[in-house]
Amino acid sequence: MKLRSTKRQKESGGSPHVDRKKLKLDNSEESLKKIVDLNNDCLDEIFSYLSYDDLLSACQVCQRFQNRARNVFRRKCHDMQMFSVKANESNHLLRRIGSALSKLEIFFCGDIIKNQQIIDITTKYCVENLKELTLHCLTKRNKLRKSFSQVNKLTLSYCDMIGCFKLAKWFPNLTSLTFNYTKNLKKYMKQSIPSMHTLNINYLASQMETITILLSNPQIKNLSLNFDAPIGLVIKRSLLAAIDNALPELEALNLTIHRVDNFGTENSSLLHFNSLKSLKIESYADYSNTALINLLAISHTNLERLQLRFSDLTLDSHSYSCITKYKNLRELHLMPTVDFVNVVPWTTEEVRSFVRRSRQLIEMTYIFAGEAQLKFSRTLASIRTQFFESSWNVKSKKRCGPKVFDTSDGVDAVQNQFVISILKDATLA
């Protein structure tokens, strides 16, 4: 049989060895036509080109595709927005890729049942890797049933809170907390959150509520207070003194205010802020707030970074005189408001004198809003003239500014900025 078979193969011009290789090659070519036979690296490369919706569709093919799509989603689309009115869709979505999310933003509606469904879905599928969580319009009738052990950054916007909302229990590793116009915080403010080092408050609250939460959390290192209210809430020296006493480890303080009040009449000891390294003050009113700068300048603070955003009526020669008292200042950032048109906060001669007198200064920056390109160009030309052939380099660029909470839309907005930087040249200094 063997000879007869070999003879027939020779007559047909074939070879047993060649036929087996051809058959093996044909089978290989056939298998390569099926995407399920590709290795994981190839699948990841293909899935990386898919849209968000197509990735979700791939999750429904099989468990392997779901795992690969989840990995791609983790790298490519690690954040998501959800609305409680779409609870069924959210359940379908998070069941497949919830464990891949690191950022999640939830908008709640007025339906308490749907809101609770979203909360339960989120706690079931997203607690594994979720690092940042933003909740909009959460009401006091909804409750969290499971802790978010990995979340370190929490934002509460337009939420109706009560004292039983225990953040330290539900977010045991929380390091950064932001309130955007959150209601009913009077009882809540007494809570202690030992892991928190950053607190941002953007809402119209009484100064007493603010002091209460600070006294309960003396470990805070970064504090941001927004008092930019329609009725013009002022910031008093008593509040600054309370911050100074309550937060001995405070390193960065950001204030958005209408105006400073009673700094010249209140009888109080000097502020210390022994640990304060960075100070940012924003004011959009035409009141002079240089008293605040002067008060901190004559205190014992070792400020290294100062950022000011004032109107053209409040940054003047007196401001210049106050800021020269910061002996350890290394960075100064000035941000004129949009209505600032024809002049710079200081004359260019004052700027040149200031940088010469400030021995520790290594950078001075003008930051203009995107709408102010003309005044940016004028200021740049003037600054370059003053610092021509000096030990300071003048540079300019356009960049995306930090996110700003937009009260009209209830979301964060990104603004373009034009930047002029005056940098000390280490080789010529």
Does residue 318 belong to any structural domain of this protein? no
Does residue 319 belong to any structural domain of this protein? no
Does residue 259 belong to any structural domain of this protein? yes
Backbone dihedral angles phi then psi of residue 97, each to the nearest 5 degrees:
-125, 10
Residue 398 host element (H or E): strand 392-406
pTM comes to 0.74
pLDDT digits (tens, 9 = 90+) for 317-330: 677 777 878 888 89
Residues 61 and 107 in one domain: no
Average the pLDDT over each of 5-9, 138-142, 180-184, 390-394 and give the range with the smallest value.
5-9
pLDDT digits (tens, 9 = 90+) for 20-48: 544 454 555 555 567 777 787 888 777 77
- Using the 3D structure, point to which of 77, 104, 119 is the last residue of a domain: 77
Does residue 11 belong to any structural domain of this protein? no
Does residue 94 belong to any structural domain of this protein? yes
Does residue 31 belong to any structural domain of this protein? yes
Residues 93 and 173 in one domain: yes
Residue range(s) defining the domain that contains residue 276: 197-299
Q: How far is CA 39 from CA 31, 44, 169, 333, in A?
A: 12, 9, 43, 52
Residues 234 and 167 in one domain: no
Residue 3 has pLDDT above 50, yes or no: no
Domain count, the chain: 4
CATH number of the domain that residue 31 is part of: 1.20.1280
Does residue 216 belong to any structural domain of this protein? yes
CATH number of the domain that residue 363 is part of: 3.30.110
Residues 6+ apart with CB under 8 A from 60: 66, 96
CA nearest 56: which of 105, 107, 95, 103? 95
Does residue 180 belong to any structural domain of this protein? yes
Residues 223 and 280 in one domain: yes
412 and 406 Cβ atoms separated by less than 8 Å? yes
- Using the 3D structure, point to which of 299, 321, 352 is the last residue of a domain: 299
pLDDT-derived band at 82 (thresholds 50, 70, 90) equals low
